[in-house]
């Protein structure tokens, strides 16, 4: 099955302000707007949809993500086999939504699209998004869901970390060939072990996403003052973290990069 992460949804009271930030500092371009004020941007591959709050997306911040699939019928069959209680529902299918949505074992919404989320032909350029992270319980169950339903692969980084005791304290990683999906342990679990890794954003659910950039030193100099922090050296991926005007976390990397498939790293 051919499936790739290709959509991110961020809820904001001010989509235009966020759009200006991402187009100015991350070279994203606008691909359209809705009548209600949603804005869709792209890095050449992802559809980053900045959504006004609605009945289904009330909380501001990084809301959910989406998977491009080549065969929705095969997804339905895999859900019956591996997640029989999953509820597949229709979405609007417009510029800022997929055609269907399902929830993973922790209730995180996953939008699905067989129309590439209305994206034009993919472009190979930088900056570009290569990392998506969520903070949820049931890490192994969630990893199995993305592997079995969408065909993602558990990466070598993930296998190494799960062999480190206690294994439940460490993230699981899956790759689709383009993006590193991180499944982080919850704040409750970290507190249980009296363990809070330096620089960890304690935000349950969809947590952050990350860009790959070139000439990182000059790239960072252009960012607004006060929005940047350095990532701990012991992290396997990414060097820096920034925040957009709403406080959404964005990882930034050039040299470490992201493991987007088994032993395959996206770096610049």
Residue 249: strand pairing partners: 208, 243
Q: Is the peptide bond before 166 cis (omega within 30 degrees of 0)?
A: yes
**Domain ranges within the chain, ordered by starting residue:** 3-118, 128-266
Alpha carbons 150 and 195: distance in angstroms, whole number: 32
CATH number of 128-266: 3.10.180.10
pTM of the predicted protein model: 0.95
pLDDT at 120: 83
pLDDT in tens, the chain (268 residues): 899 999 999 999 999 999 999 999 999 999 999 999 999 999 999 999 999 998 665 789 999 999 999 999 999 999 999 999 999 999 999 999 999 999 999 999 999 999 999 998 888 899 999 999 999 988 899 999 999 999 999 999 999 988 888 877 889 999 999 999 999 988 777 766 666 666 778 888 999 999 999 999 999 999 999 999 999 888 899 999 999 999 999 999 999 999 999 999 999 9
Cβ count near 122 (within 10 Å): 15
Distances (CA, A) of 94 to 53, 116, 203, 219: 16, 11, 29, 33
Q: Report yes or no: 98 and 89 within 8 Å, Cβ to Cβ.
A: no
Which residues are paired to 81 by β-bridges?
Answer: none
Q: Name the region of 263 (left: φ>0; alpha: ψ -120 to 50; beta: rest).
A: left
Cβ within 8 Å of residue 234, ≥6 positions away: none
Cβ-Cβ contacts under 8 Å for 191 (sequence gap 6 or more) = none
3-118 maps to CATH 3.10.180.10: yes
CB atoms within 10 A of CB 174: 27
Q: Which two tokens stand for residue 208?
A: 């952050």
Predicted local confidence at residue 1, as pLDDT: 82
Same fold, 3-118 and 128-266: yes
Q: Where would I find the H helices in the chain? A: 15-25, 72-82, 139-150, 156-162, 187-192, 216-221
Residues whose CB falls within 8 Å of the CB of residue 165, separated by 6 or more in sequence, listed in order: none
Which pLDDT belongs to residue 263?
98
Cα–Cα separations (whole angstroms), residue 264 to 35, 151, 161, 179, 236: 41, 16, 17, 11, 13
The residue written with tokens 């952050």 in the block is: 208
Q: In what order do the strands lie in the sheet with 153-154?
A: 153-154, 172-175, 180-184, 128-135, 205-212, 249-253, 240-243, 228-230
Q: Are 260 and 175 in contact (CB under 8 A)?
A: yes
């Amino acid at each position: 099955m051919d499936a790739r992460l290709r959509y991110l949804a961020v809820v904001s009271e001010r989509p235009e302000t966020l759009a200006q930030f991402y187009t100015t500092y991350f070279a994203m371009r606008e691909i359209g707007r809705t009548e209600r004020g949603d804005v869709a941007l792209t890095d050449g591959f992802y559809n980053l949809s900045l959504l006004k709050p609605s009945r289904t997306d009330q909380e501001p911040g990084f809301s959910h993500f989406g998977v491009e699939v080549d065969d929705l019928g095969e997804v339905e069959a895999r859900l019956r086999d591996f997640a029989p209680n999953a509820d597949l529902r229709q979405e609007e299918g417009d510029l800022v939504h997929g055609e269907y949505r399902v929830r993973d074992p922790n209730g995180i919404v996953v939008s699905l699209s067989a129309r590439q989320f209305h994206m034009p032909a993919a472009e190979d350029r930088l900056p570009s998004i290569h990392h998506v992270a969520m903070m949820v319980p049931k890490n192994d169950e969630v990893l199995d869901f993305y592997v079995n339903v969408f065909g993602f692969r558990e990466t070598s980084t993930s296998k190494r970390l799960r062999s480190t005791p206690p294994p439940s304290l460490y993230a699981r990683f899956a790759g689709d060939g383009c993006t590193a999906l991180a499944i982080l342990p919850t704040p409750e679990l970290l507190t249980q072990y009296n363990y809070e890794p330096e620089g960890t954003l304690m935000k349950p659910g969809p947590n952050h996403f990350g860009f790959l950039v070139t000439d990182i030193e000059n790239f960072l100099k252009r960012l607004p003052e006060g929005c940047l922090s350095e990532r701990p050296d012991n992290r396997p991926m990414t060097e820096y973290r920034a925040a957009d005007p709403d406080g959404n976390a964005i990882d930034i990397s050039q040299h470490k990069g992201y493991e987007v498939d088994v032993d395959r790293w996206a770096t610049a």
